[in-house]
């Protein structure tokens, strides 16, 4: 933690200009900076309510975990995104648990849950801002649900490879079949089988721990057909 009074909160918290002077002071007086290494678990069901996380730089991943340890990625958070579910205690109707992990080294601002909850209770702009964040995440989960229900696995895998490639800015993905499977909620074997099919079609080239995208157009065609 360090002094954060100098931070440009209006950049990180779009509702800032609609808060009262007292509310701003509460936030700036309590917000902490936090730097976490890739792989850090920032929040899960058994942890205390961590608070509202604002990504200054880096990347977070929200996922759900089965009892057997399988992971399904719900959504990712990038620079300036706000993580609401790490402060899920502020709303009693949130009856589910997500795990939040730093997927890259990440710089965060942490607004304590209690402070944010207090402001939300008295400020309509803050409450409506929170509503919009939740609606965005809800929309991402609905998209995922539709993918799972209706898109066949080849389409989902093609979409995933293109998305990873866009995120990493390279066609040369260092990722194992195991990890792809845990992102998509499928066993490794199914991923390997489909990747080999993609390779046989000239869409990718596989080697140990890597997937190279060779034919972006063909993968894209799969997703949109």
String of contacts with a second copy for each residue 91-130, x by CB under 8 A: xxxxxx-----------------------xxxxx-xxx-x
CB neighbours of 176 closer than 8 A, spacing ≥ 6? 209
Residues numbered 182-221 forming contacts with a second copy, rule: CB under 8 A: 185
Q: Does 143 bind a second copy (CB under 8 A)?
A: yes
User: What DSSP element (H or E) covers 82?
Assistant: strand 82-83
| Size of interface with a second copy, in residues (CB under 8 A) | 40
Does position 146 interact with a second copy (CB under 8 A)? The reply is yes
* Residue (of 70, 100, 99) closest to 188 by Cα position: 70
Q: Left, alpha or beta for 51 (phi > 0: left; psi -120 to 50: alpha)? A: left
Distance CA 157, CA 193 (A): 11
Q: Where are the beta strands (DSSP E) in 143-225?
A: 172-174, 204-207, 210-213
Q: How far is the CB of 215 from a second copy (least distance, A)?
A: 26
Our CA dihedral for 1, 88, 182, 40, rounded to 10 degrees, sits at 10
Of 11, 20, 25, 138, the residue at the interface with a second copy (CB under 8 A) is: 138
* C-alpha span between 170 and 161 (Å, rounded): 11
Our finding on whether 149 is near a second copy (CB under 8 A) is: yes
Q: Which stretch binds a second copy (CB under 8 A): 35-43, 49-57, 145-153, 206-214?
A: 145-153
Strand order in the sheet with 106-111: 32-36, 106-111, 52-57, 82-83
Cβ 68 to a second copy shortest distance, Å: 8
Residue 144 in contact with a second copy, rule: CB under 8 A: yes
Site membership for a second copy, residue 172 (CB under 8 A): no
Can you tell me whether residue 97 is helix, strand or coil? coil
Question: Going residue by residue from 48 to 67, which x/- string records binding to a second copy, judged by CB under 8 A?
Answer: ----------------x-xx
> Minimum distance from CB of 49 to a second copy (Å)?
14
Q: How far is the CB of 65 from a second copy (least distance, A)?
A: 10
Q: Does 179 bind a second copy (CB under 8 A)?
A: no
The footprint of a second copy (CB under 8 A) covers 64, 66-68, 70, 72, 91-96, 120-124, 126-128, 130-139, 141-146, 148-150, 185
């Amino acid at each position: 933690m360090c002094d954060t009074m100098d931070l440009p909160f209006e950049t990180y918290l779009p509702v800032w200009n609609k808060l009262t002077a007292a509310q701003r002071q509460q936030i700036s007086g309590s917000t902490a900076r936090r730097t976490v290494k890739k792989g850090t678990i920032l929040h899960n069901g058994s942890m205390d309510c961590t608070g509202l996380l604002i990504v200054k730089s880096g990347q977070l991943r929200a996922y759900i975990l089965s009892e057997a340890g399988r992971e399904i990625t719900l959504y990712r958070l990038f620079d300036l995104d706000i993580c609401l579910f790490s402060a899920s205690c502020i709303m009693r109707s949130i009856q589910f648990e997500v795990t939040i992990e730093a997927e890259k080294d990440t710089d965060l601002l942490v607004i304590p849950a209690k402070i944010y909850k207090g402001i939300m209770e008295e400020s309509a702009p803050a409450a409506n801002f929170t509503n919009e964040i939740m609606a965005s995440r809800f929309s991402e989960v609905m998209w995922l649900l539709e993918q799972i229900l209706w898109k066949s696995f080849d389409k989902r895998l093609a979409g995933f490879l293109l998305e990873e490639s866009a995120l990493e800015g390279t066609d040369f993905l260092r990722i194992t079949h195991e990890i792809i499977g845990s992102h998509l909620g499928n066993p490794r074997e199914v991923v390997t089988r489909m990747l080999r099919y993609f390779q046989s079609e000239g869409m990718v080239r596989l080697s140990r721990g890597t997937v190279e995208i060779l034919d972006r157009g063909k993968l894209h065609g799969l997703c949109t057909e």
